[in-house]
Structure 1
Amino acid sequence: MKFRFGLLPRVLLAIALGVACGFFLPGWATRIALTFNALFGQFLEFVIPLLILGLVAPGIADLGRSAGRLLALTAALAYAFTLFSGFGTYFAGRALFPALLSGSEAALPAGGETLGAYFTVQMPPVMGVMSALVLAFVLGLGMAYTQSVRLKEVMDEFKRIIELVIARVIIPLLPFYIFGIFLSMTRSGQVAGVLGVFVKLILVIFCMTVILLLLQFTIAGVAARKNPLRMLRTMLTAYVTALGTQSSAATIPVTLAQTVKLGVRPELASFVVPLCATIHLSGSMMKIVACALAVSMIAGLDLPTATFAGFILLLAVTMVAAPGVPGGAIMAALGLLESMLGFDETLAGLMIATYIAMDSFGTATNVTGDGAVAVIVDAVDRRRKRRQPAERS
């Protein structure tokens, strides 16, 4: 069997090498790594608006063209769970992180030797992030309303190009980018505090994902009058599979099989599960919000609740149709992190590294929660069908 060295091992190796090399690598070699980071950072700034336009517009068009009560119910439940995860994570983080991250505020200010890139090349984006997001909404809703075939084909081709850029350029180069970030932080004496935050954050987010799944299946249990713990245990097979694949799309066959075992009708599960693989992102939302809040706190950014509320509302839409590759959601979120929360290149790099380190947990949470959404939709639809004969009589 061919061994696959996935993105998570590569990112962890990049972090370890960055820390280790920071203690002995000469200044000229460090500056080469920082030059790569400067160029890659400029490329990211250029690509982010195109990424948002290429992913969000076709995703909205696909959702809009699929009509029906079940679509509306599934989309509403998925969006509600995603928003609940985002706001719940934010308020839980506000309560827990000040004590948890106490003493970490000095993790980012420079305290040692700082070096710069040899050179960089300016790559100004063709439009701003918010302009790209608004244009994506306008085009997506317009294509759905007018049933535009030609424009939809063009946008689908554009989406495939963006997905190739992510899968063949950005994702393979990310470990080198993260290596440069941790190399620089080690040289400047910041890395110990940052790694301490990493470990704390991973433990807290894992505990929060367990609580989120318990809440989702409790709601599903009430709707379907079933034991939530038994249903959650049935979905553990999908959870474990998603830990390995790091992709909701790749886990669809297993998620579908386990959802049918929950008592959901096969024809309904075949509709809800693939749809939720794209639009139900409560686990990804939890990771991004928790990481963004923690990073902003240790960076000393004083962000009001209203700013984070707007960020969460837009993030829930922006992540829709994120490509089925590890790290796709954080790539789609980078524009909002920079434009709404004021993250610079270093903070964005920390977000990427932290997110990818927990990518499996978020994907597994998304996939497992898909089963809860399917159970609720099935229960509501069964009640509606039982009421219809009574109303006719």
Structure 2
Amino acid sequence: MANPAAKYSLTTRIFLGMLAGILLGTLLRALFDDSGDFAFSVFGLHVSTYALLVEGIFNIVGKIFIASLQMLVVPLVFVSLVCGTCNLSDPSRLGRLGGKSILLYLVTTALAITLAVTFALLVAPGEGINLDTSATFSASEAPTFSEVIIGMFPTNPINAMAEGNMLQIIVFSVLFGIAMAMSGKAGTKLGEMFEDLNKVVMRLVTILMNLAPYGVFALMAKLFATIGFDTITSLLKYFLLVLFVLAVHAFISYPVLLKVLTGLNPMHLLKKMRDAALFAFSTSSSSATLPVTLETARNKLGVRNTVASFTVPLGATINMDGTAIMQGVATVFIAQVYGVDLSVSDYLMVILTATLASVGTAGVPGVGLIMLAMVLQQVNLPVEGIALIIGVDRLLDMTRTAVNVTGDCMVACVVAKSEGELDIDTYNNPRAGSKEETVDFEHFDKNR
């Protein structure tokens, strides 16, 4: 008997799982509450239906799914980046790859926050809104730029992997790959082993992707069973404006940049990003989505591993376009709520601070709120204003993560095209990355 799931593509199954989770979560919130309504007894224990489903089944399945994705991040980045680096015919190209990648990420972040500030000034989301400005928020202190640079180099690479410090893992992997490339026969033997490891890890990614619809269903059901829509209603103008600017950046800024810089058809990129974007939306984590993003860049978009293994993990760490958009709109919103008039120079400072902070706070927990606190302090706005918008930030975080991973793959395509490391046939093939189509990088290497 044929598997019913085989009738539908992975994207369709993930979307159906997400939709079912949203509907069930909304229904549960309407019918039950966490006080124990519709409770029953099991072996003499008083059990709430709401708690059993939301805090029990959905919570467990969702967290196992996220943990499974995070489990793959460190081995995937380390193995893939070592493979890509040791295969470079000229290790000095890494400097060029890094320079191009970081420059493009900074440019897209600056563009994102410029769009956000511009639209926020036009729409004025904070005018006429009477919110409780007595709310307080305590932001963690951001590290200095010098501390970030020093912190990129691990004193203990094993500890860096255990803690998931992505910048340190990237630096160690690059150095290890370069050493392998310079070690002659020993490096070649070890490289073959890493190539085999890379295939095994990517197979694990494929297995998890097939289980994704169930994980996404559980995550969405739990989220929408617990989120309150009354907060969204009071901040509807701000909420919709952030979503609008995120959409503009994803569907206009990225395609225009890709077309101008490479001449490629942007529609292929947007269509092939569906799986990764749905993963990112469900998990709200670029790092957790990294296995899927890397698989998309390599197998669907045709970015060779020497570029994808470096550019995509770097983007998952420092690319903060979606966060920058939130910061731009939030800064204008908070200024208007508190009745503070910002000058043109203040807005330029907002753009500069948010752009540089996207690198300076890379890998720091709660990076979005830390960056926003830094921006507010630069223009003398009360940091406590963050408390006004934190109630709707969870839903917005899901959307801006989807935007971030799209930007990661766009930059990977641009860098790969400029380095001659993009398989154009794979990029233009709508079925690339499916079970019927795989990227033959060995054939690609021989014919470059």
TM-score tier by shorter-chain length is 0.5 to 0.7
Distance apart, 1:360 and its partner CA:
0.4
Distance 2:408 2:114 in 1: 19
Which of 170, 195, 198 does residue 235 from structure 2 map onto? Answer: 198
Which of 137, 140, 143 does residue 145 from structure 2 map onto? Answer: 137
Aligned residue type for 1:198: L
Matching of residue 212 in structure 1 with residue 239 in structure 2: no
Distance apart, 1:84 and its partner CA:
0.7
Matching of residue 304 in structure 1 with residue 367 in structure 2: no
Larger Rg: 2
Distance 2:99 2:387 in 1: 36
Deviation per CA, 1:301-326, whole angstroms, max 9, x where unpaired? 1122212322332222334354476x
Deviation per CA, 1:240-298, whole angstroms, max 9, x where unpaired? 10011110001011111212212222331111110100111111110121122112212
Q: Tell which deviates more after alignment, 333-342 or 260-269.
A: 333-342
Matched-pair contact (CA < 8 Å) for 2:132–2:388? no
Aligned residue type for 1:205: V
Matching of residue 273 in structure 1 with residue 312 in structure 2: yes
Q: Show the counterpart of 2:113.
A: 86
Distance 1:363 1:376 in 2: 20
Deviation per CA, 1:337-373, whole angstroms, max 9, x where unpaired? 245332142x121143343341101111101111111
Question: 1:237-386 counterparts in 2 under 5 A?
Answer: 237-260=275-298, 261-320=300-359, 321-323=361-363, 327-338=366-377, 340-345=379-384, 347-382=385-420
CA, structure 1 residues 383+274, in 2 after alignment: closer, same or farther (shift >3 Å)? closer
CA, structure 1 residues 282+229, in 2 after alignment: closer, same or farther (shift >3 Å)? same
SS at match of 1:300: coil
CA, structure 1 residues 341+253, in 2 after alignment: closer, same or farther (shift >3 Å)? same
Matched-pair contact (CA < 8 Å) for 1:242–1:360? yes
Aligned residue type for 2:271: R
Aligned residue type for 1:211: V
Distance 1:149 1:282 in 2: 27
Matched-pair contact (CA < 8 Å) for 1:285–1:316? yes
Aligned residue type for 1:138: S
Distance 1:259 1:380 in 2: 15
SS at match of 2:420: helix
SS at match of 1:263: coil
Matched-pair contact (CA < 8 Å) for 1:338–1:348? no
SS at match of 2:399: helix
CA, structure 1 residues 103+275, in 2 after alignment: closer, same or farther (shift >3 Å)? same
Deviation per CA, 1:185-207, whole angstroms, max 9, x where unpaired? xxxxxxx8x75452222222222
Distance 1:245 1:149 in 2: 28
Q: Please give the root-mean-square deviation of Cα atoms over the aligned residues, in Å.
A: 4.1
Distance 2:233 2:270 in 1: 32
Stretches of 4+ moved more than 6 A in 1? none
Please report the TM-score for the alignment, with normalisation by the length of structure 1. Answer: 0.58
CA, structure 1 residues 109+355, in 2 after alignment: closer, same or farther (shift >3 Å)? closer
Question: 1:151-230 counterparts in 2 under 5 A?
Answer: 196-214=233-251, 215-230=253-268
Distance 1:83 1:102 in 2: 25
Matched-pair contact (CA < 8 Å) for 1:77–1:373? yes
Deviation per CA, 1:13-51, whole angstroms, max 9, x where unpaired? 9xxx9xxxxxxxxxxxxxxxxxxxxxxxxxxxxxxxxxx
Aligned residue type for 1:73: K
Please report the TM-score for the alignment, with normalisation by the length of structure 2. Answer: 0.52
Matching of residue 70 in structure 1 with residue 97 in structure 2: yes
SS at match of 2:128: coil
Which runs of 5 or more residues in structure 1 are unaligned? 18-65, 111-115, 118-122, 162-178, 183-191, 385-393
Deviation per CA, 1:206-227, whole angstroms, max 9, x where unpaired? 2221211122122213333322
Distance 1:195 1:206 in 2: 13
Distance apart, 1:109 and its partner CA:
6.5
Which runs of 5 or more residues in structure 2 are unaligned? 1-20, 34-92, 166-226, 423-448
Matched-pair contact (CA < 8 Å) for 1:252–1:274? yes
Distance apart, 1:81 and its partner CA:
0.2
Identical counterparts, % of pairs: 24
Matched-pair contact (CA < 8 Å) for 1:93–1:293? yes
Matched-pair contact (CA < 8 Å) for 2:316–2:408? yes
Distance 1:81 1:223 in 2: 13
Distance 1:364 1:314 in 2: 23
Paired positions, count = 271
Aligned residue type for 1:87: T
Distance 1:219 1:265 in 2: 20
Matched-pair contact (CA < 8 Å) for 2:242–2:329? yes
